[in-house]
């Protein structure tokens, strides 16, 4: 079974440019997370979807970040315009809510460098 797939794996952009990340969760998983991980730190939640609904976006910097989850499956995370401080690894994860022993499975991440 395929895991969580993210693309691209690496992205280098100049500040003020837009960038987008894509995530395909594990088939059947109804919950999708976007996390940001700064160097040497733990992942921090940006947004969580249950199906196509964003149920927790309190940590998403809405002035420049946006996200969508089309038809409750794939998701994209966009930054426009990017700032130097956005350099980080962006991780997508998915899980199946409604199952008590559910766990979140993570993709390989997209390493963003803003120069």
Partner 1 sequence: ELKVEQNPLFLSMQEGKNYTIYCNYSTTSDRLYWYRQDPGKSLESLFVLLSNGAVKQEGRLMASLDTKARLSTLHITAAVHDLSATYFCAVVPRNFGNEKLTFGTGTRLTIIP
Residue 5 or 81: which CB sits closer to partner 1? 5
Distance CA 7, CA 20 (A): 9
The backbone torsions φ and ψ at residue 73, rounded to the nearest 5 degrees and listed phi first, read -120, -95
> In this chain, which stretch among 14-22, 62-70, 77-85, 87-95 interacts with partner 1, using CB under 8 A?
87-95
Shortest distance, position 20 Cβ to partner 1, whole Å:
19
Site map 14..43 versus partner 1, x via CB under 8 A: -----------------x-x-x----xxxx
Compare residues 63 and 101 and give the one whose CB is closer to partner 1: 101
Q: Using the rule CB under 8 A, is 101 a contact of partner 1?
A: yes
Q: Label residue 72 left, alpha or beta by phi (over 0 means left) and psi (-120 to 50 means alpha).
A: left
Q: Are 23 and 83 in contact (CB under 8 A)?
A: no
Report CA 18 to chain centroid distance, whole Å: 15
Residue 6 contacts residue 111 (beta carbons within 8 Å): no
| # binding residues, partner 1 (CB under 8 A) | 25
Binding interface with partner 1 (CB under 8 A): 31, 33, 35, 40-45, 48, 50, 56, 91, 93, 95, 97, 100-101, 103-109
């Amino acid at each position: 079974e395929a895991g969580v797939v993210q693309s691209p794996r690496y992205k280098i952009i100049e500040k003020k440019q837009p960038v987008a990340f894509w995530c395909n969760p594990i088939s059947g998983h109804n919950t999708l997370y976007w996390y940001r991980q700064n160097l040497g730190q733990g992942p921090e939640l940006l947004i969580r979807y249950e199906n196509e609904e964003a149920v927790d976006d309190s940590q998403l910097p809405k002035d420049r970040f946006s996200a969508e989850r089309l038809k409750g499956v794939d998701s994209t995370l966009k930054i426009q315009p990017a700032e130097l401080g956005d350099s980080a690894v962006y991780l997508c994860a998915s899980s199946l809510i409604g199952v008590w022993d559910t766990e979140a499975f993570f993709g390989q991440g997209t390493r963003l460098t803003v120069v």
